[in-house]
Amino acid sequence: MVVLLAALVAGRFLVHYALPYYKFDPKFYDYFWPHRFRLLLHISGGIVALICGTLQLWTGLRRKAMTFHRWTGRVYVGAVAVGASGAFLMTYYTTPRAFGVALMGLATAWLLTTGIAWAAIVRGQVLLHKEWMVRSYLVTFAFVWFRFIQDNLPGLTARMGSSGDDAASSVAWLSWTVPLAVYEVVLQGRRLFGAGARRVES
């Protein structure tokens, strides 16, 4: 159910926000127009990662089609590498600089979480791989949260900075750090209380 909801939200994001960039309308690109190919590199990697990441978390599909799961995983890793590379290339030209730094932080987290997930499965640590894939997908989904917060929660966004650019930088940070923090609390809480329950029962 959660994966289906994520897929629907991600689909809306792709149709309304990501795909229009491929029309190559200078007005849509705004000040990124001179650096559109860097932006497209970032967006293209993000689109593929968002699609493949959703398929990776689909438990039923993973159980029935493991070969497909492995290949979508490989494509996902490659897409993250491409998307993060585009993000790093964009940071030099992004204004304000605070937003560029936020984008750099997101790209770094994207690479690290995905890299650890990949290293875990290569070493046969399936549980660790699953946990880090969730973390990686949460960072991938940050692009969706960023647009959702900015477009649907203007009152909240306005309180996050002294200017529109300042607020956008704050939203960029919060769009992946908060979901990761919530996931960690849930994950570690289950382990803590689950372990406690077992000790009481024993």
pLDDT tens readout for residues 136-174:
999 999 989 898 888 888 888 888 877 877 888 899 999
What's the pTM?
0.87
Helix/strand/coil (H/E/C) assignment for every residue in the chain: CHHHHHHHHHHHHHHHHHHHHHHCCHHHHHHHHHHHHHHHHHHHHHHHHHHHHHHHCCHHHHHHCHHHHHHHHHHHHHHHHHHHHHHHHHHCCCCCHHHHHHHHHHHHHHHHHHHHHHHHHHCCCHHHHHHHHHHHHHHHCHHHHHHHHHHHCHHHHHCCCCCHHHHHHHHHHHHHHHHHHHHHHHHHHHHHHHHHHHHHHC
Q: Does residue 48 fall inside a structural domain? A: yes
Q: Does residue 25 fall inside a structural domain? A: yes
Q: Does residue 198 fall inside a structural domain? A: no
Q: Does residue 108 fall inside a structural domain? A: yes
pLDDT tens readout for residues 28-54:
888 788 888 988 999 999 999 999 998
Q: Does residue 201 fall inside a structural domain? A: no
Q: Does residue 117 fall inside a structural domain? A: yes
Q: Does residue 157 fall inside a structural domain? A: yes
The domain containing residue 105 runs over which residues?
A: 2-193
Q: Does residue 122 fall inside a structural domain? A: yes
Task: Provide the domain count of the chain.
Answer: 1
